[in-house]
Every structure is written in structure tokens, then in C-alpha cells.
A and B are shown apart, each in its own frame.
Chain A
Amino acid sequence: MSPEEKGEEKTSAEAHAYTPGLKVKRAMAVDKMRRLPILGEVLVNEGDKVEHSALVAKTEISGDPEIVKVAMKLGVEPEDLPRYMKVEIGDKVAEGQQIAFYSALFGLIKKEVTAPVSGTVEALSDLTGQMILRGEPIPIAIDAYIPGKIVEVMPREGVVVETNAAFIQGIFGIGGETHGVIKVVVGSADDELTDDLIKPEHKGDVIVGGSMVTMEALKKAAEIGVSCIVVGGVRHNDLTDFTGEEIGVAITGQEEVGLTLIVTEGFGKMRISQRTFDLLKSFEGSYASVNGTTQIRAGVLRPEIIIPHEQFADEASEELAAGMVPGTPVRIIRQPYFGAIGKVVTLPVELQQLESESHVRVLTVELEKGEVVTVPRANVEIIEE
């Protein structure tokens, strides 16, 4: 499109981005809600200072029930069962303890049923002849995950922990919450993270690579016990081989693959954004809390790197731009300019036809080398600076 044409167009003063930009912040107040799955007890008070490993709430979920087919095992009718029971509802029984006994023909035939696990007799049915034996309660506790201050207590449910930190979101991750010291092992954002760069001393660290992590590097990092890898891209096939399963739906975080992986840009070889790379580099040696959990549908969760610190706190109040205006820095997130970074030039109001012949709302972007391209508004994300 020529500049003259652009000049004649009706343009939007501001437009919302369909894809919210990922946060890459040097300093902000990070809040983390730490919530029990069911009601329980909160162990800290508002205003308390906590370390990342401090337990903040705990509860117990009722133990697993064990169904014991007592009538069937004794060979009696369910309605006759009460006569043969040796325990009552509410009794505690130990594993192996006799719970029912049957004898016939003056004791020549004897049958008994013993408790398969320790627990409490919860129910007994004279219709099915089944007994429900409830196992010991299972304790659940949650930790603070980030060091900081308790700023809110939700009675019986959990707390909100707040800290001043650098905050970086990835686009996709696997593996759950973990911690470690940041080590940048590549020279530039373009470099691949290969296995030779991972050393035994990286055990427990959060290591940062450039454009892509290789399969060998993933394997070696897991062997050594690296906590987390942060990198621009990963090949789809490598991820499948590494996790042992093809990712179908983006609900991750439960994988047990020995480490947490945070991909900042996408799939394939993708240079980690310079801003992310520089920020991580400036915090080399600092301690970070990281989480690979990703959920893209219903309640978007993106993987995160939280680096608590005391400095730069005055920047924390900086507000994010709500929408796109001419000059807004954006990243193009789809072919044919995937990964390109530029600034919004115009936001034409009228629908325009794409090469695919779809008619959509577009914007024009000036890329880093000066070229101006037209892309669908849906295919850019705002770079939050």
C-alpha cells in the first residue's frame, strides 16, 4: 500500500488488540493467589512476611473410600448381612482386622472378611451387601510460591501473597511451579540452546537459552536436574518426544518430565525477544519463582518467571496501554511475517481483502527495517514496554 493511499483512509484513533500482549516487566507488584481446593485452615496472617517455601494454608480431603463386597464374600444375602457383621458404622478398623464372620454346619463351614485397608466404617447396605470403608484423611498444604507479604486472607480458603518483582510471561510451558537461580548460557538471543552448554553446576538453576532448545539439551537438563529452561522456541516433534505424549489441548503444568520448560515466542526456531533476553540477563544470579502451567481456554494462564527484588520499585506503578494507536510497538504473530517486530502506522476502519480473500479489519505496521506491511488486526500482539 502506498503512503498516499494511507493518507486517504478513514482510520481508528485506537483499536483493541485481540491477543493481549505478554508481560515483560522490569518491576511491578506481583500478586499470587494461593487457594485450597476445598475449605481448610489459613496458617498466616495479613501483613506477615513469608519465604517462598512457607506453608500458608492446609486442609484435609476425606480419605479414599474402599468398597468391600461383604455379602458376596461371605456368600450370604445382603439383607442377612447385619447378623454377621463384627463392626458397626463409625468403627475404626485396622488393615487385616476381621469385619464379618459367617459359620454354618456347626462350624464346619467358616468364612470371614477382613479389612483391606485401615479406616472407618462409613456405610453398610442391606440391598447391595457392600460396606464403605473410608481411608485416613489426606493432608493437603500449599506454600507461598513467591517470597513476599500476605496482603489478603480469604478465611478458610487461602491468601494473596504480594511481592515487588520482575515479571515475564511466556507463551507456552510445561511442568509446574519451581525455583532456581537465573543463568544465561547463550551469548545472544539468536543462539540455540544445545546440550554442550548445560553443565552439572546448573543443577537447580533456571537456565536461559536463545532461539531454540534442542532435544539433546532438554534430555541433558532433565538428567542433571535443571529446574527450568526459558527459551524462544521448541520444535513440536522434540516436545512430543521429550514429554512422551503429543500435546493435544493446551492445558499443561502437570507433566512430570524432570523440569519446567517456558517457551516465550512459539513453536519452531524462534529468536527469544531481545527485551525478554536482556531483562533476564540483567537478573543473572537472582533467584526466580517459575511456573510452566499454561491454559489457553477458559481462564487464560500463561507460564511465568517471577524475579523478586527490592530495586526499581518506583517503576512498578507504570500502567499498560489499553489499546493500539499509531506508534504502538507490536509483534506479528502469524505468517507471512511471523515474529517480525514493528510499530503501528495506521488503523484503517474499512475491511480489507487479504491474500486469502477474507475481508477483515487490518492495520499497517512499519517493520524494523522500514518496510510497511498490512496485516489483520487479529494477527498482532502489543509489546508491553
Chain B
Amino acid sequence: MAGGDLVAHVATFAGALRSRGVHVGLGDEVDAVRALTLVDVPDRSEVHRALRIAMKILRRDWAAFDESFARFWAAAPPVRHDSRDTVPSPRPAGAALLRPSMSVEGETSRPGGSPAPPEEGSPGYSPEAVLRRKPFDQCSDADLHAMERPMRQLARGLAVRRSRRLVPARRRETADLRRSFRRSIGTGGELVSLAYRARAIEWPRLVVLCDTSGSMDRHARFLLAFVVALRRVARSTEVFVFNTALARVTGSIASGRIPRIVERLVSAVPDWSGGTRIGESLGEFVSAHLDRFVTHKTVVIILSDGLDRGDTTRIAAAMKAIRSRARRIIWLNPLAGDPRYEPTARAMAAARPFIDRLLPAHDLESLERLLPELA
């Protein structure tokens, strides 16, 4: 096979992979071409192995890779310039889920979608102290506006975690010999003052899964507002919402006023305040997103009342999988604000063994208790 031919092959193949959502860069194409000059090109299985190695295909993309490969490097000469169209690309489930959140912009103008200016009633006289203990399910949209400031303050207090990595610091934690000694050159090798190192500050990594089913409707708006405020501080925070299905909405959280963002989220999430399928939604999170977003440093926060009549074994299996990767799992349950509450609902009972902390989340004050848990 001529060299130019090979390059064209690889480029078209890479295009097909991209159209299936497999990330392949130009550098990977270059590596693929180089690799193909080093192996037996007529040997299909060797070409298959070499391409997978040189294009750095992750394990989770193997199925897509294998399918594309089967179409492309079949016995027939595979270079066709329309080949991008001939490869039917079933849209990955994740992309379908994301669509609603991408159409957000178009929907903001619908009547009622934009936050109404605070009108009659509460806002003027809701002092923050009262607001802090006002149950979310009794709050009005106007309260959401009033809560924006305290929520931002709360989020800023997000307790920081210290990394094990040492960075130069003024705090007197560990002497930094390298810098101290360098400094001492000026004083003839006499260590007059020591330089120090201290443990770096590390923002917690958060993944939030918020239940937006009917029973959670009022709470979900306020909790999402809080999550948006958290994301302002901890930039790596990832946000998912679920009811009968799961959707990643991180991309929809732009800058701007928090209540407005929440309104957009509400209108973008399909089936907001519909039914709940906690087990299926968590299972979907595990299979599609766990590897990518949850590491041993991640704190997973689940916001749900756990009212679901579905199959509890699915919940337990999904929670177990999350447990095996995450640093902590915190479940925020608005019902837990009632001192008589016991996690006996079937879904809650199934999830309970895998939860590090079960905390109430019915008003602003209860959210304050969450922050130290994230450190």
C-alpha cells in the first residue's frame, strides 16, 4: 500500500471514530500511520492491535472502535470519501441525554421562564435570619432571589482540604531546606532565616446527583441553587439531575444570577417533577459516568427523598459501585430534617449501608452542616 494511501485510510478511519464519539486527535493519526508502517498491513488482526495501541483507544471505547474497524478495514479497499456518511452512527445514549440541556438558550424566552422580578409579599421583610430557617417547601420564588446572597456566602465557606503536596508558604509547617539553603548563600552559608513549606490547599471535587421528581420539586429548586453556588467556588463540580432518567447539566450552569440559572435548568430537564426511578438513574450514572467523573478524591452528593417504589437491588448495586470509587458519599434528604425521621423507605434502606453521612436538607441552616463534611 502506498504511503499516501495509508494516510488517507487513517484519516477517514479517524473521522469515523470521531463521528462515534471516540476522541482521536491529529497526533493520534500521525502515530497510527507510523505504527502501520511498522506492522504487517495485510494481517488484519495485527493492524487492529496496532491501531488500538497507537490511537490510544480507551477500554470503554473498544466496542465502538471494533465496529468501525470492521467496517473500514474489511477486505474491500476501504477508502471512500463519502464513508463518513456510510457509517451509521447510532448516537450514544449520553448525547441524547445532553440534548435538552443544550437547547436551554432557546427556551429561556418562554413566558414565565425568566425569573419574575420579586413582587408582593416576602422579599422585602425576609431578613436573612428568618430565611435561614424557612423550610424550602414553604419558600416562594421570591425567596430564592433573597437567598442568593447567603447561599453564595455559604458556598464560599466551603471548607478546604489540605493536599499532601508541599508548596512554599509563610506558614511555619515544614522547613524547606532547598530554599533555605539557597537563601543562606547570601549570608555566607549561615542559615539566618528558614524558608517553609506547607501542605497545598485543595478544593474538594464534588459530583452532585439531584432528584427532581414530583415529591422533590420545591426542594430541588433550592438545592440546585445551592449547587450552582457551590460550583462557583469549586469549579470542578459536576452536576447531574434525575427523575425517570439521568441527565448531565454541568454545561448549562453558566454565569449570571443564580435564580435565573435554576429556572433554565427547570425548563431544560425533561419530565421535571415527574416520577422517580432512583435505581435506574443511579445505575445509568455508574455505567456512563462513574469512571470519568468519580475518583478517590471525589465526594458524591445525592439529593433525594428516597421515595421510590422501584427495584431496590438496583439501588444497592449502583451505590456499591459508587462506594468502591468515591472518597465519600453524602445523601441529603429533605425529610431527614424531621427528628422523627428514620431511613426506612425501601429505597433509602437499600442505599443506607453505602452512605457515609445522611444529612437533612430542608432549609439553609441545614445546608451549613454539609460544608464541614466536604473537607
Asked if A and B bind, the verdict is no
Question: Which A residues form the contact surface with B (CB < 8 A)?
Answer: none
Question: Which B residues form the contact surface with A (CB < 8 A)?
Answer: none
